[in-house]
């Protein structure tokens, strides 16, 4: 049972988890004492008109209630400490686990599902821990105690429990078996609902620009209806519990009244004992009813625990080498040795096929190609965002799979086309990879990325607070901040994945000049859509369907590669392309 697998998160709070049931047992004992005291009041006080006995026993009942109150308060305090601590630790452990996942792990589990598991599922299990330590302990202890008190009052009358209790157990078992898979499906549908919601919120600008609000409403409505249908089916199953349990409960009470009333008329059972017995009978049946409802809610928690354990037990797609080299990267020499890559290793649809090339320290490699040619996949293999399916990626002669991942990624700076910023100040975003960087270093990186001027124009400068994902900045501004963030690391290898697509040509040229001056010894790998971005590169690779279709410098490719000339012609015009093959003055810089 996966709920049991999560018990390790209770160990730090074991003392509180043990004290909570003890305090609850104290409260239950006081509750079980009340019917006996009430029977004494009736038998010895009311029947015999003994007012003193009524007062004395009444004070005992008040005292027992106060002790029970203290027990209940103690149980609440310690159960809350246990459950909240358990939930916080589990949530943190899940978040830390997700940080180790490779991209293929994240693609399989999906963002919407992970959000649901870290929030709703953890809360579900956390609440059940608190219920277990309070309501479940109370109901179970009250049921056992009531049976003991009933047998003590009238063993003959208690024989009917042999018919009532097993029937209740059968009803509970059947409902639990039916409800567990349904609650699992409820959580799955909730995953789908969250995924649609996240996609819509992230792409709300596109939705409005293309006037697709109606389509998105329908898509969300469909996911919402599917969730509703499964949730209602689960609710109907659970709803059958209460009427069936109440039917058995009321039948048991009627039987006690019929048989117990006859004993009272015969004088073999005092009327106070009969009232106490009925009170215990009600406590027993209501506690069993409560246990039933709790067990059904536990079935929902089990479904959540299964999903949590799936995350915790998922093995990261990128596995650290046993003796990983934590000092392998010294110069930044990169070599691809017959590399092939597929997102699904079990298939043959390779995104990259037999790719080989080398980049020396301080050199710049430009990568061109149509959408889907494998450019981003290629550079993703360098910092081990993915592992090569075949072949090797080497840095300074060491396979990246043998390099410590923290060391590897600290020496490989990467700037993506889609700039990802975080809520916080501009300064915090720039020094995201180096929190201890000085203000002078932050400004130097911002100047190199051509970001200092627009930052200085802001009212709070580098202390300007950014909204979620940097919504208060333009696309070009976000890209320049991302470049500054990577430059601050001073990495041995810098990857620019079409990271200036939202920047004008003049600003892009200035950024290239700054990079040459600031990072002359850094190996740069530049993915670009514009040939102007890579004309000065030491090597240009042209990818087509995952294969290097052409390689060389800008001049060499204009002479030798028809594909490269087609790209150049599409961006600069046919006449310029033809003349460029013989005139260096038309080669863009």
pLDDT in tens for each of the 589 residues of the chain? Answer: 466 778 889 899 999 999 999 999 999 999 888 888 887 878 777 777 778 878 888 898 899 899 999 999 999 999 999 999 999 999 999 999 888 887 777 777 777 778 888 888 899 899 989 988 998 899 889 888 888 888 888 777 777 777 777 777 787 777 777 776 777 788 778 777 878 887 787 777 777 777 778 888 888 888 888 888 888 887 777 776 667 777 777 777 777 777 777 767 766 677 777 788 888 877 887 787 787 777 777 777 887 888 888 888 888 878 888 888 888 888 889 999 999 998 876 666 889 999 999 999 989 999 998 888 888 889 989 988 888 888 999 999 999 999 998 899 888 888 877 778 888 889 998 998 888 889 999 999 898 888 898 899 888 889 988 876 667 788 888 888 888 998 888 889 999 887 777 677 788 788 888 877 777 788 999 988 888 888 888 999 999 888 999 999 999 998 888 888 888 888 776 444 444 443 333 333 3
Cβ neighbors of 277 (< 8 A, separation 6 or more) are: 150, 153, 154, 157, 256, 260
**Contact (Cβ atoms closer than 8 angstroms) between residue 452 and residue 492:** no
Using the 8-state DSSP alphabet, how is residue 135 labeled?
I
Q: Which residue has the tokens 């649809």?
A: 349
Domains of the chain, by residue range, sit at 2-182+243-313, 334-586
- Does the pTM surpass 0.75? The reply is no
Q: Could you tell me how far CA 402 lies from the centroid of its own chain?
A: 29
pLDDT confidence of residue 459: 84
- Kindly list the distances between the CA atom of residue 364 and the CA atoms of 62, 333, 417, 516, 531, in Å, as whole numbers in the listed order: 85, 11, 18, 10, 14
Tokens of 493: 């290898």
Tokens of 121: 């599922």
pLDDT confidence of residue 2: 60
pLDDT confidence of residue 111: 77
What beta strand segments (E) does 301-389 contain? 334-341, 352-359, 364-369
CA distance 460 to 443: 14
pLDDT confidence of residue 340: 92
What residues pair up with 493 in beta bridges, in sequence order?
A: 412, 523
Q: CATH fold of 2-182+243-313, please?
A: ABC transporter transmembrane region fold (1.20.1560)
Q: Which residue has the tokens 């580098």?
A: 462
* Helices 51-99 & 14-40 angle (0-180, nearest 10): 160
pLDDT confidence of residue 346: 64
- The angle at the Cα of 313, spanning 312 to 318, to the nearest 5 degrees, equals 95
CA distance 589 to 384: 32
Give the three-state DSSP class for 539. strand
Element (H, E) at 364: strand 364-369
pLDDT confidence of residue 302: 80
Tokens of 397: 């002669």
CA distance 430 to 424: 10
What residues pair up with 526 in beta bridges, in sequence order?
A: 366, 496
Q: Which residue has the tokens 């249908």?
A: 229
Print burial letters for 514-550: b (CB count within 10 Å at least 16), e (below 16).
Answer: bbeeebeebbbbbbbbbbbbbbbbebbbbbeebebbb
* Helices 161-202 & 271-313 angle (0-180, nearest 10): 40
Tokens of 45: 């006080």
Nearest to 35 by CA among 251, 290, 287, 274: 274
What residues pair up with 282 in beta bridges, in sequence order?
A: none
Give the three-state DSSP class for 270. coil
pLDDT confidence of residue 15: 92
CATH 1.10.940.10 is the classification of domain 334-586: no
Query: Could you count the other beta carbons within 10 Å of the beta carbon of residue 389?
Result: 18
Tokens of 450: 């051509």
Q: Could you tell me how far CA 393 lies from the centroid of its own chain?
A: 31
**Contact (Cβ atoms closer than 8 angstroms) between residue 194 and residue 119:** no
């Amino acid at each position: 049972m996966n709920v049991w697998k999560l018990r390790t998160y209770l160990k730090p709070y074991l003392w509180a988890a043990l004290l909570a049931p003890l305090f609850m047992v104290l409260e239950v004992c006081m509750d079980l004492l009340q019917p006996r005291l009430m029977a004494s009041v009736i038998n010895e006080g009311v029947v015999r008109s003994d007012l003193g006995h009524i007062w004395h026993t009444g004070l005992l009942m008040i005292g027992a209630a106060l002790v029970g109150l203290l027990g209940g308060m103690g149980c609440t305090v310690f159960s809350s400490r246990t459950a909240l601590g358990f939930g916080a630790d589990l949530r943190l452990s899940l978040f830390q686990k997700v940080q180790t996942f490779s991209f293929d792990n994240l693609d399989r589990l999906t963002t919407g599902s992970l959000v649901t598991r870290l929030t709703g599922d953890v809360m579900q299990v956390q609440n059940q821990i608190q219920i277990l330590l309070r309501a479940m302990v109370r109901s179970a202890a009250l049921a056992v105690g009531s049976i003991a008190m009933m047998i003590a009052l009238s063993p003959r009358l208690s024989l009917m429990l042999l018919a009532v209790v097993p029937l209740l157990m059968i009803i509970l078992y059947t409902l639990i078996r039916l409800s567990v898979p349904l609650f699992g499906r409820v959580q799955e549908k909730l995953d789908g609902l969250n995924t649609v919601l996240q996609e819509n919120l992230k792409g709300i600008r596109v939705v409005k620009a293309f006037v697709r609000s109606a389509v998105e409403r329908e898509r969300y409505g469909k996911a919402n209806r599917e969730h509703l249908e499964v949730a209602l089916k689960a609710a109907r199953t659970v709803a059958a519990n209460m009427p069936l349990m109440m039917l058995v409960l009321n039948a048991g009470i009627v039987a006690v009244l019929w048989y117990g009333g006859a004993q009272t008329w015969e004088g073999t059972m005092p009327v106070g004992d009969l009232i106490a017995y009925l009170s215990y009978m009600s406590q027993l049946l209501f506690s069993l009813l409560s246990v039933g409802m709790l067990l059904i809610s536990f079935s929902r928690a089990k479904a959540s625990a299964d999903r949590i354990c799936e995350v915790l037990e998922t093995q990261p797609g990128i596995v650290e080498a046993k003796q990983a080299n934590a000092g392998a990267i010294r110069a930044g020499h990169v070599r691809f040795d017959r590399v092939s890559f597929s997102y699904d290793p079990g298939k043959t649809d390779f995104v990259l096929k037999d790719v080989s090339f080398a980049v020396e320290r301080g050199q710049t490699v430009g990568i061109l190609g149509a959408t889907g040619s494998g450019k981003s996949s290629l550079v993703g293999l360098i910092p081990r965002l993915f592992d090569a399916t075949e072949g090797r990626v080497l840095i300074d002669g060491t396979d990246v799979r043998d390099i410590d991942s923290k060391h590897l990624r600290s020496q490989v700076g990467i700037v993506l086309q889609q700039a990802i910023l975080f809520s916080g100040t501009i300064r915090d975003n720039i020094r995201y990879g180096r929190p201890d960087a000085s203000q002078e270093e932050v400004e130097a990186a911002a100047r190199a990325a051509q970001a200092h001027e627009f930052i200085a124009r802001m009212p709070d400068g580098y202390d300007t607070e950014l909204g979620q994902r940097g919504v208060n900045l333009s696309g070009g501004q976000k890209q320049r901040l991302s470049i500054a963030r990577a430059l601050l690391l001073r990495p041995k290898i810098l990857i620019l994945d079409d990271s200036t697509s939202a920047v004008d040509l003049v600003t892009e040229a200035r950024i290239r000049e700054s990079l040459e001056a600031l990072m002359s010894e850094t190996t740069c790998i530049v993915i670009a859509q514009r040939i102007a971005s890579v004309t000065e590169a030491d090597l240009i690779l042209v990818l087509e369907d995952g294969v290097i279709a052409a390689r060389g410098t800008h001049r060499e490719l204009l002479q030798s590669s028809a594909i490269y000339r087609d790209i150049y012609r599409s961006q600069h015009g046919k006449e310029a392309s033809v003349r460029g093959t013989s005139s260096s003055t038309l080669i863009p810089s």
